[in-house]
Structure 1
Amino acid sequence: MNQAPAGETTSLQTALEAMTMIIQRKVFAESKDEIAVILFGTADTDNPLANGESYENITILQPLSIADFDLLNLIQNEIQPSNISADYLDALVVGIDHLVNATQGKKGFGFKRLILMSDLGGEFGDDEVDTIIQGIKATGTELNVIGPSLDDGEDENDSEKPGPSTMSNGQRKERTAQQRTGEAMLRHILQEVEGECYSFSEALPALSYFQSRQIKQTAWKCQLEITSGIRIPICSYAKLKDFKLKQSWKRVYAKDPSEEVGTLRTYHMKDEEETEIDKEDMIEGHRYGNTLVPMSEDDKANMKYKAEKCFKILGFTKPENVKRHHYLGDGSSCVVADKGDEAAAVALSSLIQALYETNMVAIVRRVYSAASGPKLGCLIPHIKADYECFIYVELPFMEDVRQFTFGSLPVTKENTSTANNKFAPSEKQLGVIDKLITTMDLCPLPEDDDDEDEEDNATEYLKSKLTFNPHFQKLYQCLQHRALNPDEPLAELSPLVANYLKPPQEVLTKCEEHIESLKKVFKLEVVKKKEEKTGENQFKESDEGDAGKAKKPRLDDDLEGGMADITRTKVTEVGTVTPVEDFVAFINQKDEDKFEEASRQMQKRIEQIVVDSFGAQFYPKAMDCLKALRSNSVKKSEPELFNAFMKKFKEMLITKGRRDFWELVMTENQGLISKMESEDSTVSKEEAKLFISEEVEKEEEDVKQEEGDDADDLLDMV
């Protein structure tokens, strides 16, 4: 096993790598499985069956024990190659003997397994084959072989005919006559004991991933209450749950892992001496204004909502009323009838079938225990060929639902406003995107529509049960590397794990055609950032053309450039002298979005100009400011800021007696921004018209009526 062409991995190195991966899986899964390592072909002999003639050159490197980092370190550093050959059948006998003796008197072992790793190139004796087969069957041991592929030989009895043998790197080398004989013998043993054989090329990828900790299922038992007189005993098992990494290694003293690490917490007052106090002398307090209200444990217990353990159906509804985005919790559960209760099984099956046939789901109230609060959930009927159950998913209460309203994206030019018309995609663009999405489906339906069970025949990529979490894989890899190589830097991410972060190759191949079409229908252009015009770059010397000649700046009178921008400093406030120019410069700053602040300042300036105006003297200036604020609110897609201001501004004008300016607003049609002008607005066209006409007239009549009543009161007093 220590022989290989130059530049290729030997079978011994591959076997050691496979052993390391198996032990890694047990360590990080925190498994209670016990592992023993037996070497054959060693210079020394260390096993209880050796008698000087038989079972020589076989060593028990590690007796049966729970896997740990010490065993990993032992495999990597203590196993050295040798030129001595040993009988792998003798090694199997030593392994069976050690399994029987090491597990004798111990409880809790579910099964026993022997894993043989060899290229089967050594000599062996077949005189104890029947004894080995009987021993494996009698002890209930499972036999697995990792080595050359046993399926490549054309004729089992043709042991002299050389054939190909699969190596760990996927290449093939010619079998020797000894290997052919050994494979034939091992194939016979595996057939008798119903064992499994894996080639190195098959085993290494399968063992490359760390497995999560396996948790034994525990049932939550309760009674499904339909009415006060109908109760069905049920059991609930976790079907899908968020995996929490058990970080028992977080509190470990690196220099002495056997030393226990504890925590010590003390409490001190906020005074100069930092006086230490006992925890028993403290009480929890909550602020109510400036007052601190003490809250003892008894107070909290009395105020806590108390509920009894229950699982009660509140009603039934259609599945479409339970939205997918309403699912809460960290997983789902399977609800089945209580084990051994036939009456409960019949009753629950009837309910499942009835809801399935009527296309309904049940809304339930669930209280896990008296110490927990009530939860709202949904029971979804789930029927398969060999079982049926309810799938329980937690739902939100009314207070848990957050309503967010987002403007719809433009789909066609017919339902798009004029402002967003240029962003509407064409039919050809929509068709290309639709084909790309269909091709990228990770669970395509089978081509044969006559299949009764489409789910079983569908080719699903990235199945959750076959896909490992890259975060955990990288973490386990780093922990293992740091434990075995404390002074070396952390290794790069394993290529096998890195492939999980990429789309499946078959999907990428199917998408190539549509991606090329995507590039044609969506033409991308490089947009150069417009250089800010300042005095420095307006008058700097030209790098091209005649040396010493400066570029002649274009002097415009608009706000986009020219001397006005050159001499202007950065605007931070909307002033009273040139409010419109200040506002436009403020919102056009490129470094950050200042529209909300600029809009607030502009609103204040409009109110100030109108109130301070002597008669209608400053009304034109205020109207220019209002027009600038309104037009830029539409342009910047911020209509709600302007609409909220106009509602307050209208009330202020009526209160201050500025009815003449409001008539000017009506004449210039500067009312609320409706949906026709901006899709981000929530005001309809009819509401905008009503705002500047009928409502104002009514409010004005109320104000005149109040003024008339005040005048009558004054006359009565005189």
Structure 2
Amino acid sequence: MPPKVEQGTIIILDIGRNTSAKDKSGKSFFENAIECTKRIIERKIMSQGNDLIGIILLGSKKTKNSMAEQCPGAFKHIELFVELEIPSWKMIRDLPDMPTKSKGDWFDALIVAADYFKNGVSGIKNPNKRIILMTNFESPSSVDENGFDQALNGFKEEDFQVDVIGCDINSENSKNNDINMARNFVESTNGVTAPFNDTMRYLLFHKKKHVNAMPWNVDLCIGPNIKIPITSYIRLKDEPIVKKWTKAVRDPITDTASSTEAVSKKTIHLNVENKNVVNNELIKGYHYGQEIIPFFECDKSLIYESGPKSLIVYGFTHSSKVKFQNLNGDGLSYVFGRKGDKKAQYAVRCLVECLLELDLVAIVRRVYNNGYAPRMFALMPVLDSNDFVCLSMASICFKEEIKYMSFPATELKKFACTNDQVNAFKDLIKAMDLTNAYDDSEFDDNEAFPIAETISPSAQYILDCIAFRAMNPGKPLPQPRSDIMMLFKVPPLIEKRAAVPLERLKTLFVLNKVEVKHRIKKSQDASVTDTSIQAEGANEAYNDMPKVELCIPTKSENIQKIRTISPISDYKYLLSKGKPLNEIALEMTGAIESLIYSNLDQHCSKALEAMMFFRMEGVKGDPSYYNNWLKNFKTELYDRKRSDMLELIKEKQLNYIWNQENNLSKYDINDPEEESQIYEMDTAPSFTEMDVSSEVNNLFNDM
């Protein structure tokens, strides 16, 4: 069966030397034509349609077309560059980079395109034939009047559509005979013409492919005896931006999808106990919480049957009971009487008028097809004019899907507004009327952001990123272009009109900044006296809270051993009390190891702070305690696969201590992590020691 193709388009792209001259904007005709061609192909790719595109190069160095083979010496410098095929990114990549030094006849290129449509395309059933001509007509054609009339009649008989892009051919007083001939082609074939600026403005945003709505035919049942044949069409529906994603393997050489490799999926069932593949005796099951409930063949009789496809009215209710927050689903449908059935159309019209008169809506149960789950919908009347009468159908929530939220009452005296405040808001609403947002001289339509016509900025940016990634596989994604960011800006006329009402509102509504008062968090080293003072200050701000006496341990208590809570202060305290250095060093290393091995949050700032302090003490005095411990400690870290901690030690420069009096190069023997650069010339401290709280370090690490 031949593929279903709606339209076949051949682009005649002039790349001759007559297109190399630059205009006032600094761009040549060739550059504008290439940019426009890329945008047309990109638009076709993104729409994911079945349209075919071919490219003919006019003014090419080569002569490659069937007409040149039939008529030697004619149809020169015309190359059939790409035959009709589904548009791809390769088409864009293969486009020429610069114009040639040859010239071609644009009229001959039209004949070549028409001949290819007639004789060179097979297996495609009756597509719409469209030819887009991009040339500046500075290379004149050699066709005579008889040949032109004969070709024009042939184009009409074959239903070709000829479009001319890039050159203004609408001038009736043009002395260029080629432009007059091109205008006759466009008018006789119902084509279009536009300069590059207007064409690129039209191609500025990606648009979805226009698809005819699929009808859903069913009988609207009201009670046991009334059945109205109706047809439902989807009016709005939430859909993904790109529906079909094809996974492919990237070729590392060409940075494109591989033509020899592909992604395949295979589903297998494994026995959890012995890991063997199970090929038979499979029993389906369903997750219910953490349990799997088996579902046997005999249980199929217990499945709820929704019945055949149907649309049954359960009843009618007042429209005020079906609020906006009660509607859900992924779209909106319109319901009409069946096409060709005048009785059904009259019955639907009568139902709509009755619902409007009584201010009611219908609650219906819909089963889309046999075996589908039933859903509840609301049928609401729509009567825009005498000719447009229908019912809008939107899904409604079940009880479990409704979330009730309570808000404080606003009908209080302190929230009451004066007449001046109300009038100020009315003036602001009138000034920000979007139906009159532009001047007549600038835009055809004065309305800003019209419903169902405003383009989604996020969708446009995603499609731009897809196109950029296809053409630039290794580059980072760009920022949204200015055309997309313009969609977020307020129209200038609206902003100008709203300036005065906004200033008036600022004077009528005086807003006072509310300062949130926080309790002052005390450190553990604070004294009891300081705590009581802070508690009194806090009690002034929080006078409704009881006063609590806090008992915080002070430095005056007898500390016997270095603790993990404050190892640095404990080290200093025990050293001042005359405790031997070898015992203090052993306790310090034990506290550091406990902070690292027992820390579940992986925050080692306090341990690194203690290591830095311990190392500085070794630089000032005897470094052997630090070096001997660090060698065993790094070996232990290597065995525990704590590469993160080893990297931190390197990063913070907490490696071995070396000086001229104590040559400690022996510590690099059998060290799994240290390299030849591990030792430093730490003859004296190079920075001033500072005691920074570990809580402060943790605060900055978490930011």
Structure 1 and Structure 2 fold alike (TM over 0.5): yes
Tell me whether 1:307 sits opposite 2:307 in the alignment.
yes
TM-score, length basis structure 1: 0.63
1:35-77 CA-to-partner distances (Å, cap 9, x unmatched) read 11112122222122223443222111111111111112122xx
Tell me whether 1:371 sits opposite 2:371 in the alignment.
yes
Match of 1:124 in 2: 141
Q: Following the alignment from structure 1 to structure 2, what is the Cα–Cα distance between the partners of residues 439 and 269?
A: 70
The question of whether the paired residues in 2 share the 8 Å contact of 1:327 and 1:393 is answered with yes
Alignment of 1:207-606 (within 5 A): 207-255=203-251, 256-258=257-259, 259-268=261-270, 274=275, 277-278=278-279, 280-284=281-285, 294-296=294-296, 298-299=298-299, 302-356=302-356, 359-383=359-383, 384=385, 386-409=387-410, 415-416=412-413, 421=414, 427-443=419-435, 459-522=446-509, 559-560=539-540
Match of 2:618 in 1: none
Within the candidate set 172, 185, 198, 1:189 is matched to 185
Deviation (angstroms), 1:426: 5.5
The question of whether the paired residues in 2 share the 8 Å contact of 1:222 and 1:235 is answered with yes
Secondary structure of 1:81's aligned partner = coil
Q: One-letter code of the match for 1:378?
A: A
Q: Residues 94, 401 of structure 1: CA spacing in aligned structure 2 closer, same or farther, 3 A cutoff?
A: same
Deviation (angstroms), 1:319: 3.4
Q: One-letter code of the match for 1:137?
A: K
Q: Following the alignment from structure 1 to structure 2, what is the Cα–Cα distance between the partners of residues 123 and 387?
A: 53
CA RMSD, Structure 1 to Structure 2 (Å): 4.0
1:592-621 CA-to-partner distances (Å, cap 9, x unmatched) read xxxxxxxxxxxxxxxxxxxxxxxxxxxxxx
Deviation (angstroms), 1:366: 1.6
The question of whether the paired residues in 2 share the 8 Å contact of 1:377 and 1:395 is answered with yes
Match of 1:43 in 2: 61
Q: Following the alignment from structure 1 to structure 2, what is the Cα–Cα distance between the partners of residues 474 and 360?
A: 42
The question of whether the paired residues in 2 share the 8 Å contact of 1:20 and 1:72 is answered with yes
Q: Which moved more, 1:21-30 or 1:239-248?
A: 239-248
Q: One-letter code of the match for 2:333?
A: S
Q: One-letter code of the match for 1:263?
A: K
Q: One-letter code of the match for 2:183?
A: R
Q: Following the alignment from structure 2 to structure 1, what is the Cα–Cα distance between the partners of residues 276 and 317?
A: 61
Percent sequence identity over matched residues?
26
Deviation (angstroms), 1:499: 2.0
Q: Following the alignment from structure 1 to structure 2, what is the Cα–Cα distance between the partners of residues 229 and 534?
A: 76
Q: Residues 444, 40 of structure 1: CA spacing in aligned structure 2 closer, same or farther, 3 A cutoff?
A: same
Q: Following the alignment from structure 1 to structure 2, what is the Cα–Cα distance between the partners of residues 444 and 361?
A: 34
Q: Following the alignment from structure 2 to structure 1, what is the Cα–Cα distance between the partners of residues 390 and 211?
A: 21
Q: Residues 235, 531 of structure 1: CA spacing in aligned structure 2 closer, same or farther, 3 A cutoff?
A: closer
Match of 1:595 in 2: none
Q: One-letter code of the match for 1:41?
A: G
The question of whether the paired residues in 1 share the 8 Å contact of 2:519 and 2:538 is answered with no
1:433-492 CA-to-partner distances (Å, cap 9, x unmatched) read 443344334346999xxxxxxxxx984322354333333322222222222222222233
Q: Following the alignment from structure 2 to structure 1, what is the Cα–Cα distance between the partners of residues 501 and 522?
A: 49
Q: One-letter code of the match for 1:436?
A: L
Q: Following the alignment from structure 1 to structure 2, what is the Cα–Cα distance between the partners of residues 254 and 569?
A: 67
The question of whether the paired residues in 1 share the 8 Å contact of 2:437 and 2:448 is answered with no
Q: One-letter code of the match for 2:173?
A: N
Q: Following the alignment from structure 1 to structure 2, what is the Cα–Cα distance between the partners of residues 527 and 380?
A: 46
The question of whether the paired residues in 1 share the 8 Å contact of 2:337 and 2:345 is answered with yes
The question of whether the paired residues in 2 share the 8 Å contact of 1:219 and 1:235 is answered with yes
Secondary structure of 1:559's aligned partner = helix
Q: Which moved more, 1:346-355 or 1:19-28?
A: 346-355
Q: Residues 43, 324 of structure 1: CA spacing in aligned structure 2 closer, same or farther, 3 A cutoff?
A: same
Match of 2:603 in 1: none
Deviation (angstroms), 1:291: 8.6
1:147-201 CA-to-partner distances (Å, cap 9, x unmatched) read 13345x4xx2352xxxxxxxxxxxxxxxxxx5xx443333333233332211211
Tell me whether 1:69 sits opposite 2:98 in the alignment.
no
Q: One-letter code of the match for 2:392?
A: I
Deviation (angstroms), 1:265: 3.8
Q: One-letter code of the match for 1:374?
A: P
The question of whether the paired residues in 1 share the 8 Å contact of 2:334 and 2:392 is answered with yes
Secondary structure of 2:262's aligned partner = coil
Q: Which moved more, 1:236-245 or 1:51-60?
A: 51-60
Structure 1: state its 5+ residue gaps: 160-177, 448-456, 540-552, 571-718
Q: Following the alignment from structure 1 to structure 2, what is the Cα–Cα distance between the partners of residues 475 and 446?
A: 29
Q: Residues 113, 330 of structure 1: CA spacing in aligned structure 2 closer, same or farther, 3 A cutoff?
A: same
The question of whether the paired residues in 1 share the 8 Å contact of 2:438 and 2:448 is answered with no
Tell me whether 1:157 sits opposite 2:173 in the alignment.
yes
Q: Residues 286, 476 of structure 1: CA spacing in aligned structure 2 closer, same or farther, 3 A cutoff?
A: closer
Q: Residues 119, 532 of structure 1: CA spacing in aligned structure 2 closer, same or farther, 3 A cutoff?
A: farther
The question of whether the paired residues in 2 share the 8 Å contact of 1:534 and 1:566 is answered with no
The question of whether the paired residues in 1 share the 8 Å contact of 2:438 and 2:491 is answered with no
Structure 2: state its 5+ residue gaps: 1-18, 252-256, 527-532, 553-703
Q: Following the alignment from structure 1 to structure 2, what is the Cα–Cα distance between the partners of residues 52 and 133?
A: 23
Q: Following the alignment from structure 1 to structure 2, what is the Cα–Cα distance between the partners of residues 443 and 499?
A: 18
Secondary structure of 2:150's aligned partner = helix
The question of whether the paired residues in 2 share the 8 Å contact of 1:157 and 1:184 is answered with no
Secondary structure of 2:249's aligned partner = coil
1:128-148 CA-to-partner distances (Å, cap 9, x unmatched) read 332332122111122222113
Q: Residues 385, 444 of structure 1: CA spacing in aligned structure 2 closer, same or farther, 3 A cutoff?
A: farther
Count of matched residue positions in the alignment of Structure 1 and Structure 2: 513
Secondary structure of 1:49's aligned partner = helix
The question of whether the paired residues in 2 share the 8 Å contact of 1:40 and 1:59 is answered with yes
Q: One-letter code of the match for 1:157?
A: N
Q: Following the alignment from structure 1 to structure 2, what is the Cα–Cα distance between the partners of residues 400 and 298?
A: 32
Q: Following the alignment from structure 2 to structure 1, what is the Cα–Cα distance between the partners of residues 541 and 234?
A: 67
Tell me whether 1:16 sits opposite 2:16 in the alignment.
no
Q: Residues 349, 247 of structure 1: CA spacing in aligned structure 2 closer, same or farther, 3 A cutoff?
A: closer
Deviation (angstroms), 1:270: 5.2
Secondary structure of 1:55's aligned partner = coil
Q: Residues 528, 403 of structure 1: CA spacing in aligned structure 2 closer, same or farther, 3 A cutoff?
A: closer
Match of 1:81 in 2: 99
TM-score, length basis structure 2: 0.64
Q: Residues 569, 234 of structure 1: CA spacing in aligned structure 2 closer, same or farther, 3 A cutoff?
A: farther
Secondary structure of 1:113's aligned partner = strand
Secondary structure of 2:182's aligned partner = helix
Secondary structure of 2:460's aligned partner = helix
Q: One-letter code of the match for 1:560?
A: E
Q: Following the alignment from structure 1 to structure 2, what is the Cα–Cα distance between the partners of residues 320 and 394?
A: 16
Q: Following the alignment from structure 2 to structure 1, what is the Cα–Cα distance between the partners of residues 319 and 518?
A: 56
Q: One-letter code of the match for 1:54?
A: A
The question of whether the paired residues in 1 share the 8 Å contact of 2:117 and 2:129 is answered with yes
1:316-367 CA-to-partner distances (Å, cap 9, x unmatched) read 3443343222222111112223333343333333333444455543332222
Q: One-letter code of the match for 2:474?
A: D
The question of whether the paired residues in 2 share the 8 Å contact of 1:328 and 1:393 is answered with yes
